[in-house]
């Protein structure tokens, strides 16, 4: 199967989208299996000290990757852009086998750099702007539910909802939103906070974010975990170079 054929595999496209949300996994795999200078900078000629991987380095999986026999990773800084191909340990027959092979490579690479499965998170990472947009429909829902009956605008909105959806849509949506933002998602967040041993101040910030925008707060903590793994990979890589 050619690379063009791989582009048509929906399973591989879904895997590429997933990998592009895991730059920590891509960095660990790339640093473990590739020798590009962007990943392993040459030591400073004056001090002889190893130079850490540049913090501006961005990693992504380009179109057409992964294939059934390799994982392509694009390395990008402000000045340079390089593609590296990392062979899989064995040729896969379908997207599921490709995912299994890459997951194993990632787990082995993270273990090599001594990155714990659940690293401690000590900082608050703000949610993505797109995730904050949920405030707009929430504000509209609260307005339609709470506005007085003398409000012509609110009455017009309620009439439209009743006509095209249901008389019970507004109270049902309120109950659903309350259950998600006040009960379900905070419980999921508490589990994540405990797992990653988040200190009280950033933990409260994440909780406040979850109550306001729901999933966006959970995603913010997930991105903080990814950032911490990246920091640990770079740190362990520098320590390994010093010991050599």
Q: What is the pTM of this model?
A: 0.84
Angle, helix 200-213 to helix 215-243, in steps of 10 degrees:
140
- Please tell me the predicted confidence (pLDDT) of residue 2: 45
Give the end-to-end CA distance of the chain in Å, rounded to a whole number. 42
Contact by Cβ (8 Å): 21, 7: no
Kindly report which listed range (5-9, 162-166, 188-192) carries the lowest average pLDDT score: 5-9
pLDDT over 60 (residue 115)? yes
CB 138 within 8 A of CB 229: no
Q: Are 127 and 41 in contact (CB under 8 A)?
A: no
Furthest CA-CA distance within the chain: 77
**DSSP class of 42:** P
Q: What is the mean pLDDT of residues 11-33?
A: 93
What pLDDT is recorded for position 108? 93
Rg of the chain taking only CA atoms, in angstroms: 23
Contacts of 100 (CB under 8 A, 6+ apart): 92
Q: What is the rounded average pLDDT of the residues 21-49?
A: 79
Mean pLDDT of the chain: 88
**Three-class SS of residue 207?**
helix
Which of 44-58, 131-145, 180-194, 227-241 bottoms out in mean pLDDT, i.e. has the lowest?
44-58
**Which residues lie below 8 Å from residue 165, measured CB to CB, with a gap of 6+?**
none
Q: Where in the chain do CATH 3.20.180.10 domains reside?
A: 3-112
Residue 224 has a pLDDT of: 96
Lowest mean pLDDT, pick from 41-50, 61-70, 154-163, 227-236: 41-50
Average pLDDT over residues 124-130: 95
- Angle between the 152-164 and 135-146 helix axes, to the nearest 10 degrees? 110
pLDDT at 123 over 90: yes
Report how far Cα 11 is from the mean position of its chain's Cα atoms: 19
23 has pLDDT over 90: yes
Tell me what the mean pLDDT of segment 79-87 comes to: 89
pLDDT band at 120 (very low <50, low <70, confident <90, very high): very high
Q: Per-residue confidence at 1, pLDDT binned at 50, 70, 90?
A: very low
* HSE-up (13 A, CA, CB side) for residue 220: 29
Tell me the average pLDDT across 60-70. Answer: 91
Beta sheet of 70-76, edge-to-edge order = 58-60, 70-76, 81-87
Does 36 score more than 90 pLDDT? Answer: no
| Contact in structure between 95 and 14 (CB atoms under 8 Å) | yes
Residue with tokens 């990693």: 59
Burial class of residue 218 (count of CB atoms within 10 Å of its CB; 0-12, 13-18, 19+): buried
CATH architecture of 3-112: Alpha-Beta Barrel (3.20)
pLDDT digits (tens, 9 = 90+) for 173-225: 999 999 999 999 999 999 999 999 999 999 999 999 999 999 999 999 999 99
Q: Pick from 202, 207, 9, 8: which is nearest to 97 by CA?
A: 9
Phi, psi (5° rounding) for residue 109? -65, -40
């Amino acid at each position: 199967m050619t690379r063009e054929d791989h582009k048509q595999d929906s399973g591989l496209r879904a895997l590429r989208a997933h990998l592009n949300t895991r730059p920590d996994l891509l960095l660990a795999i790339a640093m473990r299996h590739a020798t590009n200078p962007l990943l392993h900078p040459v030591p400073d000629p004056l001090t002889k000290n190893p130079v850490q991987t540049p913090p501006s380095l961005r990693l992504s999986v380009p179109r057409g990757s992964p294939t059934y026999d390799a994982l392509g990773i694009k390395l990008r800084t402000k000045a340079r852009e390089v593609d590296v191909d990392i062979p899989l340990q064995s040729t896969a027959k379908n997207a599921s086998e490709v995912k299994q092979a890459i997951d194993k490579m990632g787990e082995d690479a993270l273990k090599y750099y001594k990155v714990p499965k659940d690293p401690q998170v000590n900082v608050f990472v703000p949610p993505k702007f797109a995730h904050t947009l949920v405030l707009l429909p929430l504000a509209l829902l609260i307005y339609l539910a709470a506005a007085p009956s003398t409000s012509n605008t609110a009455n017009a909105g309620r009439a439209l909802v009743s006509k095209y959806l249901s008389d019970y849509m507004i109270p049902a949506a309120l109950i659903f939103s309350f259950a998600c933002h006040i009960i379900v998602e905070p419980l999921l967040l508490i589990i994540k906070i405990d797992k990653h041993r988040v200190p009280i101040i950033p933990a409260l910030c994440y909780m406040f974010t979850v109550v306001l925008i729901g999933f966006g707060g959970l995603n913010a903590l997930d991105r903080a975990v990814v950032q911490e793994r990246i920091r640990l990979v770079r740190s362990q890589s520098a320590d390994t170079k010093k010991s050599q």
